[in-house]
Amino acid sequence: MGRMFIDDEMLETANRILASGQWIKGPESKAFGTEWAAYCGALSGTPCSNGSVALIAALHSLNVGHSDEVIVPSHTYIASATCISLVGAIPVFVEIEEDYYTLDKAAVEAAITPRTKAIIAVHLYGQPIDAEVFAIAKKHGIPIIEDSAQAHGASLNGQRVGSLGDIATFSFFPSKNMAVGGDGGAILTNREDLVQRVSTFIDHGRLDKYRNDVLGTNFRLSEIQCGVGRIQLKHLDGWVTRRNEIATIYSAAFAALEHVKIPKIRDGAVHAWHQYVVRVADRESFCAHLDSMNISTGIHYPIPCHLQPVYADHPQGVRGSLELTEAVCDDIVSIPVMPLLTDDEVQRVVDAVLSWTP
């Protein structure tokens, strides 16, 4: 499902930074934040230690706290929800679109209450969310956090993910579309009033070394990882193009299969294809068949957030509260779409899927 990209420039950069002795808060982190923001079309960028703390920092920067409500899809990685709980707020889980697996605009509108303080819009699998969600949020005066952990290089109507909402978060975990040689993340802001709040919060709430103006903590990213990220960024467009090439091959090959439902691309979107997700009625049989042909599969994600044990006491923590989300989680399967797949390997995946019968 994944394969690490490492080149000589990355190794040379890591050695250079190690030899410099400046391992944190140096020129690499400043440059990486600036370059990543410019790539996405955002106002400002701040590297941080991982995508999960990026979400916590984003909520903190929007003054989300005790008893506030935050709308979030249940079909996502658990960090999209637990970040809300960790700042003392309440996750309000909503349904997804059947075709695109992202926030359903009608469900978002219906979930808004006077206590709604933010919306976490997850560009799941690399699919940008419906632009109408941004319009709904604007109408109600509610800020949107783009959870873009899986959407590096995606765009909607010519505008890159990360520049669509008030604030955006990214993960550079090794399996993501772009990495930094370990855990890593970034927070992008598109509002002037959030720029300093974000950068201050991830560095102990300080503007000077020993003066701490606001509550904050250490969510910084190392210089080595920022240097590696800058090099990976040079390759991102090519990787997104290759992911789209592979996805196009899969969709064409599987289009006529009645027992395999292929993913769709939203009109006006460039999909980043972090995952290529199909739906099958007999997932166990499908995965076993591909495994027998030495092809990996994944399930992203088998348990919706509202049914995770951590939310057993949540009002929505019972099966049947989000029927579409639950149905999707029961039959989704991810097949390899990483950009380092060779043409022969792509054909092997195609042949394996075509030869499966439920």
Q: 115: which 2 tokens?
A: 């206590």
Tell me: do 217 and 246 sit in the same domain: no
Tell me: do 77 and 37 sit in the same domain: yes
Tell me: do 31 and 142 sit in the same domain: yes
Residue 71: which of 27, 39, 119 has the closest Cα? Answer: 119
Average pLDDT over residues 269-274: 98
Residue 277: which of 335, 194, 353, 346 has the closest Cα? Answer: 335
Distance CA 169, CA 159 (A): 16
Residue 3 lies inside a defined structural domain of this protein: no
At which of 185, 206, 231 does a domain end? 231
Distance CA 107, CA 195 (A): 31
CA angle 323, 327, 330 (to 5 degrees): 140
Residue 1 lies inside a defined structural domain of this protein: no
Tell me: do 57 and 159 sit in the same domain: yes
At which of 231, 251, 270 does a domain end? 231
Q: Residue 231: is it exposed, middle or buried by C-beta count within 10 angstroms (0-12/13-18/19+)? A: buried
Q: Give residue 340's domain range.
A: 236-354
39: left (phi over 0), alpha (psi -120 to 50) or beta: alpha
Residue 342 lies inside a defined structural domain of this protein: yes
Per the structure, the count of domains in the chain is 2
CATH of the domain at 340: 3.90.1150.10
233: confidence class by pLDDT, cuts 50, 70, 90: very high
Q: Which residue has the tokens 């599969």?
A: 297
CATH of the domain at 142: 3.40.640.10
Average pLDDT over residues 179-197: 97
Q: 130: which 2 tokens?
A: 């419906």
Average pLDDT over residues 328-357: 98
Q: What pTM was estimated for this model as a whole?
A: 0.97
DSSP states of 197-212? HHHHHTBTTEEETTEE
Tell me: do 64 and 205 sit in the same domain: yes
At which of 183, 214, 231 does a domain end? 231
When the pLDDT of each residue in the chain is averaged and rounded to a whole number, the result is 97
Q: What is the pLDDT of residue 207?
A: 86
